[in-house]
Amino acid sequence: MSVRLKRILAAAAAIIVLVLIFAFLQALLVPKYMESTQEGAMIAEYYDEPVSHDVLFVGDCEVYECFIPSVLYQEYGITSYVRGSAQQLIWQSYYLLEEMLERESPKVVIYSVMALKYGTPQNEAYNRMTLDGMQWSKSKWNAIKASMTEGENMLSYIFPILRFHSRWSDLSSEDFTYLFSKDPVTYGGYLPQTGVVPKTSTREGDKLKDYRLPETSMAYLDKMLKLCRSHGAELVLLKSPTNSWKYWWYDAWDEQVFAWADEHQVGYYNLIPSDWEIGLDWDLDTYDGGIHLNLSGAEKLSSWFGKILKNDVELPDRRGQADTDDYYGKMAERLNQLKEKNQNEQD
């Protein structure tokens, strides 16, 4: 071997070693979101889905704490997935959807409208929880560009170690346990909360200076509709039945969404007035005083909403299909185990 070749090989070996060390350190230092703040792990779980879906939910907690795919499947044969994340802003929903539509062809896309109220990037930590879990694609790049708050930069999304390096002094056993593999935290994108804190306040939302929904949000809604139609999917808008003064859904907003839906011939379900019809009991079905639904609330809502969906949209009944039976059956099983475990803890 010539000296020159030897040198080139040595340099190549050195570069490979450095890249491996870098990759290892990066894997070690990024948050795992397994034991706490599980919301950070949700977005990445979509890529492990073994089946394709007829219904896709996108949005914030008003989807991922409300709709249980295994209930929709077992009661109505609807195959679905919830691609939600904490404070998912509409452009994030849009690019997540864009990414999913590259991979599968759903019949219905359901978007929860609460996040329309945000027209600008909000919070760096929530950005990370939504965006870091995405696999690299043009959609991810655009989602990051649309979401960055001041002081953030693209480089730290490409190499998350640049963002999370200072966790070195906070590393815990969680970081080592889940270094190379993660456990699922959701049930088809649904993240259960099992606590119960009754709703006591009837207070309404504070007055706002401006009741117009931001133009940016509405523009993304237009884009989302176009995207769905070009992929042959029907867009459906939805407001979950929760309404608390802290996260109030104003009538003025409702009117604007309604007008938009009417104009574009899109279905819009505001479920706030339907809570008694759904059978929600605000003493039992919320874990935080009426802001969000807990597991029992989500079960009632899913069961009720599945029927509506089945009535209003033409969806095939997939029950009897071996792969989906198996998949959603196991999901229901896991959820039952969680419920039993929770029951035992309470007793």
Partner 1 sequence: MAFVSFAFILFLVVLVPVYYLVPKKAQFIVLLAGSVFFYAFCGWRSLLYIIAATLNSYLFARWLSSAAKKENGRVEQMRETWSRDERKAFRVTSKKKRFRILVLGLVIGFGLLCIPKYTAFTVSNINAITGASITIPSLLLPMGISFYTFQSMGYLIDVYREKTECERNFAKYALFVTYFPQLLQGPISRFSDLSPQLLAPHDPEWDRMMSGFLRILWGYFKKVVVADTALLAVGTILSDPETYNGIYVFFLLLLYAAQIYGDFTGGIDITLGISEMLGIYVKENFDHPFSSLSTKEYWRRWHITMGTWFTDYVFYPLSVCRPMQRFSKWSREHLGNAVGRRLPVYFATIVTWFLTGLWHGASWNFIVWGLLNCLVILISQELNPLYEKFHKRFPNLAQNTFYRHFAMIRTFLLMGFIRTLDCYRDVPLTFSQWGTMFYAPGFSRLFTEQSLLGLNGWQWLLLGLSLILVWQVSRNSPNDAPLRHRIAARPVAGIVVAACLIFVVLIFGSWGIGFDASQFIYNQF
Part in contact with partner 1 (CB under 8 A); list of ranges 42-50, 126-134, 258-266, 328-336: 126-134
Q: Which is nearer to partner 1, 11 or 208 (CB)?
A: 11
**What are the C-alpha distances in Å from 49 to residues 80, 82, 239?**
11, 11, 26
CA 261, CA 245: separation in Å to the nearest integer?
25
Q: Which is nearer to partner 1, 89 or 236 (CB)?
A: 89
Is residue 105 a contact residue for partner 1 (CB under 8 A)?
Answer: no
Site for partner 1 in 227-286 (CB under 8 A): 246-247
Q: Which of 79, 87, 112, 240 binds partner 1 (CB under 8 A)?
A: 87
Q: Which of 27, 44, 161, 218 binds partner 1 (CB under 8 A)?
A: 161
Is residue 31 a contact residue for partner 1 (CB under 8 A)?
Answer: yes
Are 115 and 214 within 8 A, CB to CB?
A: no
Is residue 3 a contact residue for partner 1 (CB under 8 A)?
Answer: no
Q: How far is the CB of 293 from partner 1 (least distance, A)?
A: 13
Are 105 and 235 within 8 A, CB to CB?
A: no
Q: How far is the CB of 149 from partner 1 (least distance, A)?
A: 10
For residue 312, what are its two tokens?
A: 């209003």
CA 143, CA 77: separation in Å to the nearest integer?
33
Is residue 129 a contact residue for partner 1 (CB under 8 A)?
Answer: yes
Query: How many of the chain's residues bind partner 1 (CB under 8 A)?
Result: 41
Is residue 25 a contact residue for partner 1 (CB under 8 A)?
Answer: yes
Give, to the nearest 10 degrees, the angle between helix 90-103 and helix 124-131.
Answer: 10
Q: Which of 61, 66, 68, 101 binds partner 1 (CB under 8 A)?
A: 61
Part in contact with partner 1 (CB under 8 A); list of ranges 13-21, 67-75, 202-210, 219-227: 13-21
Q: Which is nearer to partner 1, 22 or 211 (CB)?
A: 22
Is residue 169 a contact residue for partner 1 (CB under 8 A)?
Answer: yes
Q: Which is nearer to partner 1, 161 or 313 (CB)?
A: 161
Q: How far is the CB of 61 from partner 1 (least distance, A)?
A: 6
HSE-CB of 107 using CA atoms within 13 angstroms: 12
Angle in degrees, CA 183, 103, 186, rounded to 5: 25
- Residue 219 CB neighbour total at 10 angstroms: 14
Q: Which is nearer to partner 1, 36 or 105 (CB)?
A: 36
Is residue 192 a contact residue for partner 1 (CB under 8 A)?
Answer: no
Q: Which of 40, 77, 119, 188 binds partner 1 (CB under 8 A)?
A: 40
Is residue 5 a contact residue for partner 1 (CB under 8 A)?
Answer: no
Is residue 63 a contact residue for partner 1 (CB under 8 A)?
Answer: no
Is residue 140 a contact residue for partner 1 (CB under 8 A)?
Answer: no
For binding to partner 1 (CB under 8 A), which residues are involved?
A: 14, 18, 21-22, 25, 29, 31, 36-37, 39-40, 60-61, 86-87, 123-126, 128-129, 151-153, 155-156, 161-170, 246-247, 288, 291-292
